[in-house]
A and B are shown apart, each in its own frame.
Chain A
Amino acid sequence: GAVVSQHPSWVICKSGTSVKIECRSLDFQATTMFWYRQFPKQSLMLMATSNEGSKATYEQGVEKDKFLINHASLTLSTLTVTSAHPEDSSFYICSARAIETGGHYEQYFGPGTRLTVT
């Protein structure tokens, strides 16, 4: 099956610093990747859609200058949390989209990154 890696799996940083999270599709090419955020006891909330070679599309309420997304290749998308604050502490998870037999899309997820901002 399709494998997506995510790095780091957890990170602690100080307020005001920036943190970069990488999402890689290991055995398939993904023109589209997604970034989600999950707060405790809540559902996965889509932050943005990352398209290879073009600008990301952000969901309403997500600050694009705060959450920088780069999708420079067909196997790598990065999310940079800039000038992190404690309220940015959360679980971030990416997925890579693939077209399955039958024509429907499937998303393959990374294992997620736990970010704690102190």
Chain B
Amino acid sequence: ILNVEQSPQSLHVQEGDSTNFTCSFPSSNFYALHWYRWETAKSPEALFVMTLNGDEKKKGRISATLNTKEGYSYLYIKGSQPEDSATYLCATPSGGSNYKLTFGKGTLLTVNP
């Protein structure tokens, strides 16, 4: 069973602030790291999938980095907006043909206007 940890569990920021949070995962037998954004009452939305050490991906104001050697990924949001309020999940697959994902508990971000 993989251990995926996310921190912090929740945070509140003001509109316009930049913020970041962490996902830790086992560095051994690493295959990929997924980030999802989950708004209340909606489906989790895939943000990024990262595979290579040193990867950096960007989607608008959101970016993510990956360190597979030490087993962590950071998600950054620049100039947070109220619509960024959501739970951000990370997950890593156990490998094999089924590609089963193990999720962290998520970071709940609230952006106050």
Contact = CB atoms under 8 A, between A and B. Distances in A.
Interface secondary structure of B, over-half rule: loop
Contacts of A44: 89, 91, 103
A32 B41 contact: no
A114 B43 CA distance: 13
Interface string A93-105: 1000100100011
Given A43-B4, A49-B98, A108 B105 contact: no
A43 to B, nearest CB: 4
Nearest to B41: A111
Nearest to B90: A43
Interface string B90-111: 0101000011111111100000
A49 B98 CA distance: 8
A73 interface: no
Given A100-B49, A106-B46, A106-B49, A46 B101 contact: yes
Interface of B: 4, 32, 34, 36, 41-44, 46, 49, 51, 89, 91, 93, 98-106
12 contacts: A32-B98, A34-B100, A41-B105, A43-B4, A43-B104, A43-B106, A44-B89, A108-B46, A109-B43, A111-B41, A111-B42, A112-B43
Interface of A: 4, 32, 34, 41-44, 46, 49, 57, 93, 97, 100, 104-112
